[in-house]
Structure 1
Amino acid sequence: MALLHVRNLSIDIHGIRPLDGISFSLDKGQILGIVGESGSGKSLTALTIMGLLPLIGGRIERGSVHFDGVDLTRLPEPDFRKLRGKRIAFITQNPMTSLDPVMRVGAQIDQVGSLHLGLDAKAAQARSIEIMEKLRIPEAATIYHHYPHQLSGGMKQRIVIAMALAADPDLIIADEPTTALDVTIQAQIVDLLAELVRERGVALILITHDMGVVAQICDRVVVLYAGRIAESHGVQAIFANPRHPYTRALIRCIPREDTPPGSLVGIPGAVPSVAHYPQGCRFHPRCERRGSPCAATVPALLRSDSGGELACHFPEDQA
């Protein structure tokens, strides 16, 4: 059985359903990329898995989230707190605002070891510095005593990753961990996450809008659009033969070295507001392949013999 298995997950926030029928699974040593434009439901998926949905007034309407055989949707909050941070870790989107500005960064890492591993102050500090060194933070023993404002954006992100690793989790959810960083630091953080999966055998969910990053390190891809899965498959199959028009459009947006100036193609329109999702296929107002069924009927998410899933009335022909 997979370490994480999400089945037919739908959530409700004040009478609105921003996630509708989401399903995927993940095992240790694998990296799952969840991609889509802003507003597609990527971060909401992460919050739901982490059990943080009630903080924004949401609830699970139907479906299940099984982690190591336990249905997290039925887990009491006191039991969830024992998992959250220990076996399931969360790397937040913006390291600039994720750290307590009046607390030394080392002490913030220590808290995880003290709370979840029962370490005393000396042992927690030693473990924190050891993790910082493994993350290639120079002069870790000195940086340990710094405040967040004394660190660069890339260094803050490494501290946030150190906090996620402090209790040696089985699953890490990284919500756009490179958004606020420059390109060079982005590449370093992505390489670091991939290395952690290889060395520690953890499962990683990488939430991003960057298809280039997905192509670089992910094993499988889930393409979300307006709260529904458009397509999912292994990363090689997705890039070699994207069958959903939205997946194909996302890949066309990736700049390449041989792309002629002015020829980069964007996706017309925008992701619809959660309060005004269109009927039928939610992508159809922006789709170049739309036909009469698209505006009236929700396309079923069908599984192929190769293990992919696709929800489209008029998919691209297979290569």
Structure 2
Amino acid sequence: MSPLLSIERLSVAIGGVTLLDDISLSLDRGQILGLVGESGSGKSLTALTVTGLLPLIGGRIASGRILFDGTDLASLGPAGLRKLRGGRIGFVMQNPMTALDPVQRIGEQIDVVSRLHLGLSGEAARARTLDLMGQLRIPEAAAVAEAYPHQLSGGMKQRIVIAMALAGEPDLIVADEPTTALDVTVQAQIIQILTGLVRERGLALLLITHDMGVVAQACDRVAVLYAGRVAEERAVDPLFERPAHPYAAALIGCIPREGMAEGSLKGIAGSVPPATQFPPGCRFHPRCPHAVDICRTERPLLRETPDGGLVACHLAERIAG
């Protein structure tokens, strides 16, 4: 059976600059795929492309395709994309503070999704809204539905954004940094809610984050992006136990662990280069402690790991070994 979402050799450009380069990923129902990497790696751009919002930032698909349940999203016009987005594809935006309309009541913002995509009447839509709010552990849902966004906490706003993503009965949820700016306790609650929904309803979740700890807690597979390319894509346990790409290893090394000695937490020297200054060869080589001459001149192609994953590194066997 074909995957629900299949991104095939996707390249995305803005103007004459290619920001995503030959990305391939797949995701099926009941599965959580984590998309990780530092800022500038291309995570949010991938989310905008999957949800059909790329034109809003002047972007275009330069090559490749995105298949959703067998349909090439690039072949759909604006009306077709609007029907999918909010309906079969739910989008949890990065910042709940700006994702909500400040002058519209909370309940109305959730109601409109099920009215548009499910054809519910006003009364039925409100009943569905209150039911979703209850499932998301929002206390006094009826009172919260009458509130305005500024009257709610950040964690409560995030739950509302998730309710909006669920209101159209989606098959796929794209969650772009859904725990950003939330405290640790609320982060854990939001991740628990999302993972529970995937398992209970058989949804597919593309979870975009820079937090490897969240990935370890929630995901089945993880794709590590660096400078617009996939560096490694594997099941979570093998990747955390023995990462094959030095960038994946460096990200895992940034996770704080219980009992760590003070000052032992590692960082990654340097930063992701801007898209106009991507280096030749492996794009991570200027920051990589293992880089050799071939890394500086030849692009490493994705190849299969023994456990069925993929890695793009000339030295993968040495790193993982």
TM-score by length of 2: 0.98
Q: Which residue of structure 1 aligns with residue 126 of structure 2?
A: 125
CA distance in 1: counterparts of 2:259 and 2:18, whole angstroms: 41
Spell out the pairing of 1:32-47 with structure 2 (5 A cutoff).
Answer: 32-47=33-48
| Stretch of structure 1 that moved more, 135-144 or 296-305 | 296-305
Counterpart of 1:252 in structure 2: which amino acid?
G
CA distance in 2: counterparts of 1:306 and 1:252, whole angstroms: 21
Deviations 1:166-187 (A, max 9, x none): 0110000000000011111001
Deviations 1:131-160 (A, max 9, x none): 101111000011110000110000000000
Q: Which residue of structure 1 aligns with residue 87 of structure 2?
A: 86
Counterpart of 2:233 in structure 1: which amino acid?
S
Q: Which residue of structure 2 aligns with residue 154 of structure 1?
A: 155
Deviations 1:4-31 (A, max 9, x none): 0101000110100010000010000000
Q: Which residue of structure 2 aligns with residue 273 of structure 1?
A: 274
Counterpart of 2:111 in structure 1: which amino acid?
D
Counterpart of 2:273 in structure 1: which amino acid?
P
Shift of 1:304: 2.8
CA distance in 2: counterparts of 1:81 and 1:94, whole angstroms: 21
Shift of 1:305: 4.2
CA distance in 2: counterparts of 1:74 and 1:304, whole angstroms: 34
Q: Which residue of structure 1 aligns with residue 11 of structure 2?
A: 10
Shift of 1:243: 0.8
Counterpart of 1:276 in structure 2: which amino acid?
Q
Counterpart of 1:212 in structure 2: which amino acid?
G
CA distance in 2: counterparts of 1:317 and 1:273, whole angstroms: 26
CA distance in 2: counterparts of 1:180 and 1:93, whole angstroms: 10
Correspondence 1:220 to 2:242: no
Contact between 2:9 and 2:24, CA under 8 Å: does it hold in 1?
A: yes
Spell out the pairing of 1:228-247 with structure 2 (5 A cutoff).
Answer: 228-247=229-248
2:103 is paired with a residue of what secondary structure? coil
CA distance in 2: counterparts of 1:60 and 1:269, whole angstroms: 29
Q: Which residue of structure 1 aligns with residue 114 of structure 2?
A: 113
Q: How many aligned residue pairs are there?
A: 319
Correspondence 1:293 to 2:298: no
Q: CA RMSD in A?
A: 0.8
Deviations 1:64-112 (A, max 9, x none): 1000010111112211111110000100001011100000000000010
Counterpart of 1:49 in structure 2: which amino acid?
V
CA distance in 1: counterparts of 2:238 and 2:263, whole angstroms: 28
Counterpart of 2:43 in structure 1: which amino acid?
K
Shift of 1:290: 0.2
Shift of 1:317: 4.3
Correspondence 1:192 to 2:154: no
Q: Which residue of structure 2 aligns with residue 99 of structure 1?
A: 100
CA distance in 1: counterparts of 2:137 and 2:156, whole angstroms: 10
Counterpart of 2:77 in structure 1: which amino acid?
P
- Structure 1: give runs of 5+ residues left out of the alignment: none
CA distance in 2: counterparts of 1:203 and 1:2, whole angstroms: 10
Task: Give the fraction of aligned pairs with identical amino acids, expressed as a percent.
Answer: 62
Q: Which residue of structure 2 aligns with residue 205 of structure 1?
A: 206
Q: Which residue of structure 1 aligns with residue 264 of structure 2?
A: 263
Q: Which residue of structure 1 aligns with residue 313 of structure 2?
A: 312
Contact between 2:132 and 2:167, CA under 8 Å: does it hold in 1?
A: yes
- Structure 2: give runs of 5+ residues left out of the alignment: none
Counterpart of 1:304 in structure 2: which amino acid?
T
CA distance in 1: counterparts of 2:246 and 2:28, whole angstroms: 28
CA distance in 2: counterparts of 1:178 and 1:270, whole angstroms: 22
| Stretch of structure 1 that moved more, 70-79 or 259-268 | 70-79
Counterpart of 1:311 in structure 2: which amino acid?
A
Spell out the pairing of 1:65-76 with structure 2 (5 A cutoff).
Answer: 65-76=66-77
Counterpart of 2:307 in structure 1: which amino acid?
S
Correspondence 1:183 to 2:212: no
2:260 is paired with a residue of what secondary structure? coil
Shift of 1:306: 2.2
Q: Which residue of structure 2 aligns with residue 138 of structure 1?
A: 139
Shift of 1:318: 3.8
Correspondence 1:252 to 2:262: no
Counterpart of 1:153 in structure 2: which amino acid?
G
